[in-house]
Amino acid sequence: GRNVYCFFEPSMNRGAHEQLALVQDLRRALSLEQFELHYQPKLRAPDGPLVGVEALLRWHHHERGLVMPDTFIPLAEKTGLILEIGRWVINEACRQLMEWRAQGSEVPSVSVNLSATQFRSPGLLGKIKEALARHGMPPSSLILEITESTAMHDPEASLVILQRLSALGVQISIDDFGTGYSSLLYLKRLPASELKIDRAFVKDLVPGSEDAAIVSAIIALGRTLNLSVIAEGVETEAQQKLLTELGCTSLQGYHFGRPDAAASIGARL
Ligand code: C2E
Ligand code: CA
Ligand code: CA
Ligand code: CA
């Protein structure tokens, strides 16, 4: 009706329709300025000082309210929209870090997550250079988080990309570590500075457990390869204590602070 065509197949379930609607809204989200970065503190174990913040993307949808990245990042990946969105994220994270510094808050670094598509896109290097230059940001203050599975998917190709990024002077963190079947041969050659232990190993962590043994092994690996090791998803004092005893360099999680808007984080700096 009204010159609007709607293709409907009875087999299409509600989920598919909803996803389609969400993708349409996602296409306009950048120009409508519906994205916001929240920041979560990373602390030197056991309880500080601040070593940096991780930028986590939030979408303020006009009807749905706050939409979390696990809902829309996969759609952004599938549709290629992640490239434009990712460019905004990198720029905004650099802008915010330099704003904090201009206000006198020494935030040592900002971490930005890169999805697989972004990581493999030919324009990545240029976008990062542009963002650093625009905001006068020292490259070493930017940490790019790439999941272990992305890094190990095609390790030879990843190595080349990571070497180029590293040559810019930015730091590399291997995210969700322990879930992605690393080839140790490649891990040894990756120009990374940090391993981030996946929350799966932290969630039920107790002394003497299998998880504790795995965490110890990751920390030993980090030491051998001269990488700092951070644990994500730290929610309790018991986890904080044990992770510190096991030798984690830094910690991140609700126990220290939830991801929050720049203004709220800034007020606590
Ligand atoms: P991630 O990079 O592994 O981020 C960690 C997730 O755990 C975040 O969820 C964070 O809010 C949450 N978290 C932090 N501390 C705790 C804790 O103590 N307990 C629990 N249960 N959770 C904790 P979030 O913000 O929903 O992000 C989910 C994922 O979406 C991220 O996982 C990352 O893969 C992706 N993502 C977020 N922002 C971006 C972005 O700007 N670009 C890309 N490409 N991906 C992003
Ligand atoms: Ca991350
Ligand atoms: Ca992670
Ligand atoms: Ca994760």
Q: Following DSSP, what letter does each residue of 230-265 receive, concatenated?
A: EE----SHHHHHHHHHHT-SEE-STTT---EEHHHH
pLDDT at 9 over 80: no
pLDDT at residue number 17: 85
Q: Hey, what are 265's tokens?
A: 């984080």
Pocket test for ligand 1, best of 56, 179, 203 (most atoms within 8 A of CB): 56
Strands 110-114 and 260-261: unpaired
Pocket test for ligand 1, best of 58, 78, 113, 237 (most atoms within 8 A of CB): 113
pLDDT at residue number 133: 98
pLDDT at residue number 4: 57
Q: Is the peptide bond before 259 cis (omega within 30 degrees of 0)?
A: no
pLDDT at 8 over 60: no
- pLDDT per position as a tens digit, 160-171: 999 999 999 999
Beta-bridged to residue 250, according to DSSP, are: 44, 230
Which of 86-90, 180-184, 188-192, 232-236 is the least confident region? 180-184
Spacing, Cα 198 to ligand 3 middle (Å)? 6
Is the model more confident about 20 or about 111?
111
Q: Give the 3-state secondary structure of 24-51.
A: HHHHHHCCCCCEEEEEEEEEECCCCCEE
181 contact partners, CB below 8 Å, separation of at least 6: 148, 149, 152
Q: Cβ of 220: how many Cβ atoms within 10 Å?
A: 13
For the segment 186-213, the average pLDDT, to the nearest whole number, is: 97
Rounded to whole angstroms, the Cα distance separating 20 from 18 reads 5
pLDDT at residue number 15: 81
- The answer to whether 234 and 240 are in contact (CB under 8 A) is yes
- The answer to whether 151 and 189 are in contact (CB under 8 A) is no
Rounded to whole angstroms, the Cα distance separating 114 from 90 reads 9
For the segment 25-31, the average pLDDT, to the nearest whole number, is: 97
DSSP one-letter code for 180? S
pLDDT at 126 over 90: yes
The minimum-distance atom of ligand 1 relative to the CA of 196 is 3
- Which protein residue's CA is at the shortest distance from atom 20 of ligand 1? 233
For the segment 20-25, the average pLDDT, to the nearest whole number, is: 94
CA 115, chain centre distance (Å): 8
The minimum-distance atom of ligand 1 relative to the CA of 252 is 15
pLDDT at 120 over 70: yes
Query: What is the residue-averaged pLDDT of the chain?
Result: 94
DSSP one-letter code for 190? S
Residue 27's closest CA among 93, 91, 83, 92? 83
Provide the residue type at 34 as one letter: Q
Rounded to whole angstroms, the Cα distance separating 170 from 138 reads 8
pLDDT at 29 over 80: yes
pLDDT at residue number 3: 62
- pLDDT per position as a tens digit, 210-265: 999 999 999 999 999 999 999 999 999 999 999 999 999 999 999 999 999 999 99
Question: In which residue are the tokens 């999941």 written?
Answer: 147
pLDDT confidence of 7, banded at 50, 70, 90? low
Q: Hey, what are 153's tokens?
A: 């998917």
Spacing, Cα 121 to ligand 4 middle (Å)? 22
- pLDDT per position as a tens digit, 54-76: 999 999 999 999 999 999 999 99
CA distance to 55, 231, 250, per residue, from 218 (Å): 24, 10, 14
Which of 24-33, 180-189, 215-224 is the least confident region? 180-189
pLDDT at residue number 54: 98
Provide the residue type at 242 as one letter: L
Rounded to whole angstroms, the Cα distance separating 218 from 178 reads 8
Share of the chain above pLDDT 90, in %: 90
pLDDT confidence of 22, banded at 50, 70, 90? very high
